[in-house]
């Protein structure tokens, strides 16, 4: 795929399979989540190398609070560690970080860590990295609807800006889900309206640059019509 097209591409990934990866190796679920964080590091670097414009990663959904408290605590520690340890590398690689989702329910100090990481990486221009933590697509739409002041003047673009908080909201072009599951799981529901869906049996800790490249190659073969007809068919 041409680099100028990739620079406009928004890739979303639902990272799934850490627990099953660990179980298959006789390891704890915690070790699976640790391996998953290592994969995040590799995939972010691969996205920069590929020239992708925006990469959105689903790290922790609002429904994940219902998991066992010990596992939730571990996930929060791993996310905090990533925010602290990766900032310098993100800055070096020209990556701008933004965390999407609620912050009021995060453990003490984590919201401040997020703000520091976002501020430190604000000048990045090679990749917009969005990590979804305590995120719900339905809640994002509901919150946007509650902020509507003049419904008669509302447009799709305007509503998208309310959902994302971005002046130029970018729809997801390619949504990848690992581990063989085939559902959206409440991830960026508005932004994925016309996303190309790519499902792979690969468990997230085994997903790497080669698997990302395979997904991009498959995407390049898709015929995206957005509800219209291609010129040859319309003729």
Active site residues: 16, 64
Element housing 198 (H / E): strand 196-199
Nearest alpha-carbon partner for 174 in 194, 189, 200: 194
What is d(CA 219, CA 223) in angstroms, rounded to the nearest whole number? 9
Eight-state DSSP code of residue 186: T
Is the CA virtual torsion 124, 126, 131, 136 positive or negative?
positive
Please give the sequence-ordered ranges of beta strands (E in DSSP) within 8-88, or none if there are none.
Answer: 10-14, 54-61
What is d(CA 14, CA 60) in angstroms, rounded to the nearest whole number? 10
């Amino acid at each position: 795929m041409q680099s100028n097209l990739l620079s406009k591409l928004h890739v979303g990934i639902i990272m799934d399979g850490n627990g099953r990866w660990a179980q298959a190796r006789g390891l704890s679920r915690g070790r699976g989540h640790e391996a998953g964080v290592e994969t995040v590091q590799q995939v972010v670097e691969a996205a920069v190398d590929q020239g992708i414009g925006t990469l959105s990663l689903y790290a922790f959904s609002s429904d994940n609070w219902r998991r066992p408290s010990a596992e939730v605590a571990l996930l929060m520690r791993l996310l905090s560690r990533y925010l602290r340890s990766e900032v310098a590398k993100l800055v070096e690689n020209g990556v701008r970080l933004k965390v999407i989702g609620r912050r009021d329910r995060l453990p003490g100090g984590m919201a401040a860590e997020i703000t520091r990481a976002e501020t430190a990486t604000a000048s990045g221009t090679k990749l917009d990295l969005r990590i979804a933590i305590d995120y719900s697509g339905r809640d994002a739409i509901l919150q946007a609807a509650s902020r509507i002041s003049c419904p008669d003047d509302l447009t799709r673009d305007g509503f998208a800006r309310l959902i994302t908080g971005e002046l130029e909201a970018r729809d997801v072009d390619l949504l990848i889900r690992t581990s063989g599951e085939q559902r959206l799981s409440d991830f960026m529901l508005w932004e994925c309206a016309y996303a190309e869906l790519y499902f792979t049996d690969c468990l997230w800790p085994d997903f790497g640059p080669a698997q990302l490249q395979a997904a991009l190659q498959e995407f390049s073969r898709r015929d995206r019509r957005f509800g219209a007809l291609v010129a040859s068919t319309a003729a």
